[in-house]
Amino acid sequence: MSFRMGTILVSFVIFCMISFSSGLPLLENPSEGGKIWALLVAGSNGYWNYRHQADICHAYQILHRYGIPDENIITMMYDDIATDSSNPMPGKIINKPGGKDVYSGVLKDYTGDDVNKDNFLNILQGNSSAMKNIGSGKVIASGPYDHIFVNFVDHGSTGLLCFPNDYLYADELMKTLKKMTNDKKFKKLLLYIEACEAGSMFENLLPTNTKILASTASNADESSYGCYCDEPEFDTCLGDLYSVTWMEHLDALTPKKEQKETILSEYRYVKKHVNESHVTLYGDRNNLGSNRVKSFLGSKKKLTEMTAVTNPNLNVIASRDVVIESINKQIKRESSDIKKASLIQTLSYMKKMRQQVDQTISAIISETSHEININILNQRYPVTLDIMPCYKDLIQQFSENCFNPLKNPYVLRYFYVFINMCSMDSINKNEIKAIFKTKCTDKQRQALNIQ
């Protein structure tokens, strides 16, 4: 061996010893000295959405256990579940039946109304000045050699993801990711998105050559699913099927298998075991698919107790039906006549208001010609960047004049209708907005909690 080769080998060994002893996670090319950053987001609030914060707390525990330093993990969650009066385990959150408390130790950087779209985008692109005096002020202060992992869990609809008080639209996310690419804010970026119609955020929008890969719980036009939905004490789902599947898979991996697990092999495992929706990959599969999971989630600093995989396919419910089905189960279990009567009244109200939403949408569509009517209801036009201004405008007008979807999540299932309207040249958009005003009354505008 030449002196030059010997020097290179010794230097590499010393570097690896320093890296492992310091607990820093190694990337695929450790000589570049990159870091791993993670942004974890539960975009909902309210006890019925217990599963979203449970998923994100579980994700935090995985990253923390895998050695990502806390200064590189940013968590956004409303933080109203652990202390909610309905929580049978006050101060704790679990992500599966009989599971460990995943809430303990979670560092919450942004809570309450700080969990919003603008803060999310500013944090993601490292805009520290915009986050001054807000929450912890932490942002993804990444550079050209860094890997970024984004895990977002909440409700969604066609071309958007929900926050408690606003929406993140597909064009806004694409614009931010493009800017980050141009500003060399990362070497590779991986997104895991748990939401209904999550694929519509990326389908035909995310390029395949930008070193960005998105894994979604659902394709562009279907629901995602809650799981562990039959725990009597909780009366809601403890997790989401996609999220629980990828995390419990990692929890159960042996150290040897863990070192070999790639993004693509994990995707295939999750896709195989999530059989209620279509788990889908978008973006740069060629550049990221073969990367090891640890290059985004870190390498374990020490051996930890392995967790047996519970079958999350048991007791699954479509995300948009979690509240209705949970109330149904409560009614069946309730022994008190007074409480049962109250639950029946709540369920009756929700079903009645759902019908009112259905009828309102039908009335709006009926104002178009019969041929267009059929297309609006039965087709799914793709999300494109050029129709997003029209789409946002219709949602805004509908929210102001009819039902507020942020307060009535059931309405989200009809947003594809607005995409269709914006895609049809034969429809006068100003006429549609006028129809909103004539077909809706104060009753619709004042409606609350239509789940």
The residues carrying an active-site annotation are: 155, 196
Q: Report the alpha-carbon distance of residue 173 to residue 159 in Å, rounded.
A: 10
The distance of Cα 251 from the centroid of its chain, to the nearest Å, equals 20
Q: Report the alpha-carbon distance of residue 438 to residue 364 in Å, rounded.
A: 9
CB 153 within 8 A of CB 196: no
Q: Report the alpha-carbon distance of residue 269 to residue 276 in Å, rounded.
A: 14
Strands 147-153 and 188-194: parallel
Alpha carbon distances (Å) from 75 to 67, 70, 72, 110, 357? 16, 10, 10, 6, 35
CB atoms inside a 10 Å sphere around CB 302: 7
What does DSSP assign to residue 414?
A: G
Strands 36-42 and 147-153: parallel
The 280-283 sheet, strands edge to edge: 73-76, 36-42, 147-153, 188-194, 212-216, 280-283
SS (H, E, C) 238-270: CEEHHHHHHHHHHHHCCHHHHHHCEHHHHHHHH
CB 119 within 8 A of CB 110: yes
Q: Report the alpha-carbon distance of residue 406 to residue 255 in Å, rounded.
A: 43
Q: Which two tokens stand for residue 327?
A: 């109330």
